[in-house]
Structure 1
Amino acid sequence: MLTKADEFPIHQTPEPIAYSGTDRNFYDRYFFNGYNPDGTEFFAAALGVYPHVNICDAHFSVIRDGVEHCLHASRFLNMERMDMSCGPIRIEVIEPLVKLKLIVEPSNGFAAEITFEGRSFPIEEPRFVHRIGPRAFMDYTRLTQNVRCSGWIEIDGVRKELQAGAVGTRDRSWGVRPIGAPDSQPPVPPVMPTFFWQWTPLNFADSSVFFHVNANPDGTPWNTRAVILPDGAGHDGGYHTAGASIGEVSFIPNTRHAQTGELVIPLAQGEAKVKFEPFLTFLMKGIGYGHPQWRHGGFKGPLVVEREDIDLAKENMGAVENFHIQALSHVTLTLPGKDPERGMGVFEQLILGPYHPYGVG
């Protein structure tokens, strides 16, 4: 089936763009977050297409007054991958790799229009390839870009403009990872599900710091990278290393959420250090990650749109569905020979199963 995308030079296989190889778990996703410089009005969004299950879904979520307000949408993709809308949520590419816009048409008390403009050229993270025995669990690529945000968000008739200086992060990832209904046949021999993930895109006055790590339960990383990137950097700019790590952390009681942590990045002239002070918890299920009813790529129907409101004070943060979070954090960057610099960013965390370096069983 030919689609609009076939008019563009973006084919990845000898087939029409409607098909992405043969793995049913292929996906292609946009992610955004943003926050005011005073730490208020945190929001996040995601839109994904899943060509081989023929589904598109999208989510928009905002924390106001201790409540995570969520708008979920799902529709049949109809094999048209260039239609970047799902119900009331849509994405416009104004300038590829530079400027995008997220629009939420009025629905269920939500409306928004937010523009994201890159602070530098996106970084390309190392390709994520992970197997469980012979089975490919993940095989995908992601670009990440810190952004300046402008626009407004309306919830239940209350419209708020984003403050001057609002920033955040966007990413694009595509490839293979579990989507839709889980595989009914487990790996052989059976293995305990484990997953350790930290991701820290951080915004400072004129630079960004990025770090991520996937690791085995014994602490051995299987994918990691840290980047220090000045504003305006071009392709392959900035400082890159695979030698960074977040050392010992302390946890909020009865959770797998860190309440302190320090990132150490080795440099030729010494160590750069970033201290994290988390102060707000965003549940990633609000945009579909690990959601019991709104799993990414799940079958919902031709078009379904629903609202969900999560009272964060009443939520059981120790529940498995709440393991995956982004903790909005004040951060302090100390470079060798320079005064400490304050900034803000997220400390994304997911610890599923044991992780021995932190004493998590």
Structure 2
Amino acid sequence: MLSHFDDYLVHQTSAPVLHPVNGDPAFYERYYATGFARDASAHFGFGLSVYPNTGIVDAALSISRAGVQESIFVSDHLPAGQRVSQAGPVRVEVLDPMKRLRVVIDETDGVAADLTYVAQSVPLEEQRLIRMRGTTTASDRTRFVQFGAWEGTITLDGESIDVGGWHGVRDRSWGVRRQATAEDVRSPDVKPIHAVWSVMHFPDDFLQVTLHEAPDGVGHARLAMQADRLSANEVSPDGQLKRTDDVSVSISYSPGTRRPATAKIDIGPRGPLEFTIEVDPKQTFQMKGLGYFHSDRPHGFDHGGLSVLRERWEIDELDPLRKDTVHAQQLSIFRRSDGVEGVGLFEHVAMGPHEPSGLPGGLGAP
């Protein structure tokens, strides 16, 4: 099927642009973004994903503050012959590639938003992540991350939340990913995964740490990247980064949970980065608020057309060892061994065994 994209010089295969080379139903493209107050008091997340092989587009916005998290989920069918970044009342607009991005939610069930992300770093390309489960591809995807700041407002039931000046991080990813899809969520089995994704705003630079390990601790991906703070007009796709794969993360779990109480990130000495970072979590953001392992709103599920759901949770009332709650981000203060302090996110999901951490099979506490 042809589309207007086929008039541009962008083809990578002999097929029309709208035809994915990979026919896997778990093939996706995704916008993800997050913002958090500089004093670590509040935190929002957003995601919009397209599944071209199944014709689904879904999106979610969630905000966590004062121990309460609220979300809105939207799912729809993709219009025939189109690859749109819109799900019902939710849309993403690329105002200036890799520099400015807009997220809009037209008022729906008491929720509205008009948010603009402004880049403050070059894009940080992660290692291509390939994870197998026997003969099945669990992940084969590319992702880049970018740091920035937010302008605009989120409206909840008439209350306007000004996020102007909030720290921002966004990523763009594509490929095959089964984690958190309906196929994964509705399986009676607990699929092993041990991952850390941490993004940090420091006064003069930014740091990202990514870690994916097998149950025996062998790494699927292991990377730390540091980027300078820039103005949006200085950002380019091929900017300079400091990188190393000499990274380890040790986590002290809260008793009876798989939720970090504290953590330590060791980076270097191999490569251009060498320091230790102490992680001090301040508040929790449940990733099910964006559909990750959500029992009713898993990624890529067909709800039969346009469907909207709004939910609210008291975070302390949730069992942290459930399949839909074990995956969380923690808004944290980060203290670097050179004395510099920053704020950011420490995201962790641990399902199944992980020998170095003393985690048993299933979702049991260490």
Give the drift of 1:95.
0.6
Greater shift in the superposed pair: 309-318 or 261-270: 261-270
Could you list the per-position Cα deviations for residues 89-119 of structure 1 after superposition, in whole angstroms to 9, with x for gaps in the alignment? 1111011011101111111111111111111
Task: Choose which of 284, 303, 323 in structure 2 pairs with 1:300.
Answer: 303
1:9 CA drift (Å):
3.4
CA contact under 8 A between 2:56 and 2:300: conserved in structure 1? yes
> What is the aligned partner in structure 1 of residue 197 from structure 2?
199
**Displacement of 1:41:** 3.0
TM-score by length of 2: 0.91
Judged with a 3 Å threshold, the aligned counterparts in structure 2 of structure 1 residues 277 and 28 are, in CA distance, closer, same or farther, namely same
5+ residue gaps, structure 2, are: 361-366
Structure 1: runs of 5 or more not aligned = none
2-structure distance, mates of 1:74, 1:122:
28
Match of 1:225 in 2: 223
C-alpha separation in 2, matches of 1:8 and 1:327: 42
- How has the CA–CA distance of structure 1 residues 183 and 61 changed in structure 2, closer, same or farther, with 3 Å as cutoff? closer
1:200-227, Cα deviation, whole Å (9 max, x unpaired): 1111112001111110111111111101
Q: State yes or no: 1:275 paired with 2:278.
A: yes
User: Partner amino acid for 2:276?
Assistant: K
Q: Counterparts of 1:1-361 in structure 2 under 5 Å?
A: 1-21=1-21, 22-164=23-165, 166-178=166-178, 180-182=181-183, 193-232=191-230, 235-247=238-250, 249-267=251-269, 271-335=274-338, 340-361=339-360
Q: Distance in 2 between matches of 1:4 and 1:281?
A: 43
Question: Cα 1:318–1:168, aligned 2, differ >3 Å: closer, same or farther?
Answer: same
After superposition, the Cα gap between the structure-2 partners of 1:4 and 1:270, relative to the gap in structure 1 and judged at 3 Å, is closer
CA distance in 2, matches of 1:295, 1:150: 29
Amino acid at match of 2:292: Y
> In the TM superposition, what is the alpha-carbon distance from 1:302 to its structure 2 partner?
1.4
* SS of equivalent to 1:360: coil
**TM-score normalised over the length of structure 1:** 0.92
Q: 1:183 to 1:13 in 2, by over 3 A?
A: farther
RMSD, aligned α-carbons: 2.0
Change (3 A) 1:26 1:12: farther
On the 8 A contact 1:13/1:20 being kept in 2, the answer is: no
Q: Is the Cα–Cα contact under 8 Å of residues 91 and 104 in structure 2 kept in the other structure? A: yes
* Paired residue secondary structure (1:255): coil
Check whether the contact 2:244–2:272 (CA below 8 A) recurs between aligned residues: no
205-214 or 74-83, which deviates more: 74-83
Distance 1:137-1:72 versus aligned 2 partners, 3 A rule: same
Report the residue type matching 1:17 in the other structure: V
2-structure distance, mates of 1:169, 1:206? 15
Give 1:269 shift.
8.0
Counterpart CA distance in 1 for 2:216 and 2:208 is: 23
Retained in 2: the 8 A contact 1:5–1:82? no
The equivalent of 2:364 in structure 1 is none
Report the Cα distance in structure 2 between the residues aligned to 1:213 and 1:132, rounded to whole angstroms: 18
SS of residue matched to 1:321: coil
AA at the equivalent of 2:296: Q
User: Aligned pair in 2 of structure 1 residues 181, 322: CA closer, same or farther (>3 Å)?
Assistant: closer
